[in-house]
């Protein structure tokens, strides 16, 4: 079973209009709200492929209820920690040409008591899971090194870990040596402290993460493709050319694909081919973390 961890989940509200005009009144053509957040998107994709998933994290208020009920309907084992604060709402403004503007709320603060309750549920889940996904931002009240602590708990329990975070949470999580890290270019540049213009520079910076104890690094480069760095080898897969509808959740789709490849012990070339096809298929749909299977298998072929 795979455990996905949502420390700062969100309700994703998608608003559609022809073109966004900043500083002016904008009337939306349509709007809808669904369960979201990075780890929730990973969970949704895994369940499309009938992978057993347990989900943990913090939920509160009406938004939290929406997320938990959505995952339960998908057959997910929910072990969330209830908090007093309200689960945040993230707004994605989707324009007719495919451009997306994301407005992300900070989320509720978590108390020390709530944090302790989560750790008890988290360690209990590890007894039954072989792979854990730590994905997304940290809520207020949680220290930047918290992902690192969770990585250590996973390894003590014999559970492999995929980390997909940003900023200081990513940097300090890397120090604990997760099995897989999946940064995008911007996140890798943050770690490097400089811009990374070429693929060689990206591979070199990924190698620095390996030297710090990470098992492998998979870098998502959007339309430029995917880079996999492990040991002394680096692998690349170009992105598929598709009619893009919505790119939100594509990185989470890559993480879900890496989970499946990890369970099946796929070689890097096969794993990258799967991830590239799945991510591109996700980009052709309006809903975050939704894979049109025919498109996916056509691209994979």
Given 145, 252, 267, 298, the catalytic residue: 252
Nearest to 56 by CA among 82, 92, 35: 82
Q: Which residues pair with 220 in a beta bridge?
A: 184, 226
Distance CA 165, CA 6 (A): 11
Predicted local confidence at residue 109, as pLDDT? 92
The DSSP 8-state label assigned to residue 212 in this structure reads: T
Residue-range definition of the domain harbouring residue 136? 2-20+29-300
Residue appearing with tokens 């996700």: 282
126 burial type by CB count under 10 A (0-12 exposed, 13-18 middle, 19+ buried): buried
CATH of the domain at 168: 3.40.1190.20
Entry pTM:
0.90
Which string of b and e fits 179-191 if b means at least 16 CB within 10 Å?
A: bbbbbbbebbbeb
CA 140 to centroid of chain Cα atoms: 19
pLDDT in tens, the chain (301 residues): 999 999 999 998 889 999 999 999 999 999 988 888 899 999 999 999 999 999 999 999 999 999 999 999 999 999 999 999 999 998 989 898 878 898 988 889 999 999 999 999 999 999 999 999 999 999 988 999 999 999 999 999 999 999 999 999 999 999 999 999 999 999 999 999 999 989 999 999 999 999 999 999 999 998 899 999 999 999 999 999 888 887 778 899 999 999 999 999 999 999 999 999 999 999 898 777 789 999 999 999 8
Percentages of the chain per state (helix, strand, coil), in multiples of 5: 40, 25, 35
Distance CA 267, CA 131 (A): 17
Whether 252 is catalytic = yes
Nearest to 51 by CA among 257, 265, 279, 294: 257
| Domain count across the chain | 1
Distance CA 161, CA 216 (A): 11
Sheet holding 226-230, edge to edge: 77-82, 53-59, 2-6, 131-135, 160-164, 180-181, 216-220, 226-230, 233-237
């Amino acid at each position: 079973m795979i455990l996905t961890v949502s420390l700062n989940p969100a309700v994703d509200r998608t608003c559609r209009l022809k073109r966004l005009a900043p500083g002016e009144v904008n009337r939306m053509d349509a709007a809808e709200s669904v369960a979201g957040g990075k780890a929730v998107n990973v969970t949704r994709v895994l369940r499309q492929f009938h992978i057993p998933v347990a989900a943990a994290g913090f939920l509160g208020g009406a938004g939290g209820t929406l997320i938990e009920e959505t995952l339960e309907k998908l057959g997910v084992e929910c072990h969330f920690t209830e908090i007093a604060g309200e689960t945040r709402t993230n707004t994605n403004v989707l324009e007719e040409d495919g451009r997306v503007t994301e407005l992300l709320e900070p989320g509720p603060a978590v108390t020390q008591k709530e944090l302790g309750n989560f750790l008890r549920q988290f360690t209990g889940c590890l007894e039954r899971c072989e792979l854990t996904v730590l994905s997304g931002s940290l809520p207020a009240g949680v220290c930047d090194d918290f992902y690192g602590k969770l990585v250590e708990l996973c390894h003590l329990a014999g559970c492999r870990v995929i980390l997909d975070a940003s900023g200081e949470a990513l940097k300090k999580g890397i120090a604990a040596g997760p099995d897989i890290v999946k940064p995008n270019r911007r996140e890798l540049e943050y770690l490097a402290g400089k811009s990374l213009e070429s693929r060689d520079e990206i591979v070199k910076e990924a190698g620095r993460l390996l030297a710090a104890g990470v098992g492998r690094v998979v870098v998502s480069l959007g339309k430029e493709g995917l880079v996999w760095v492990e040991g002394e080898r680096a692998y690349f897969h170009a992105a598929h050319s598709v009619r893009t509808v919505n790119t939100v959740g594509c990185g989470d789709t890559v993480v879900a694909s890496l989970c499946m490849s990890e369970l099946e012990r796929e070689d890097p070339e096969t794993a990258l081919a799967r991830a590239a096809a799945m991510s591109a298929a996700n980009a052709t749909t309006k809903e975050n973390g939704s894979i049109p299977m025919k498109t996916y298998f056509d691209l994979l072929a």
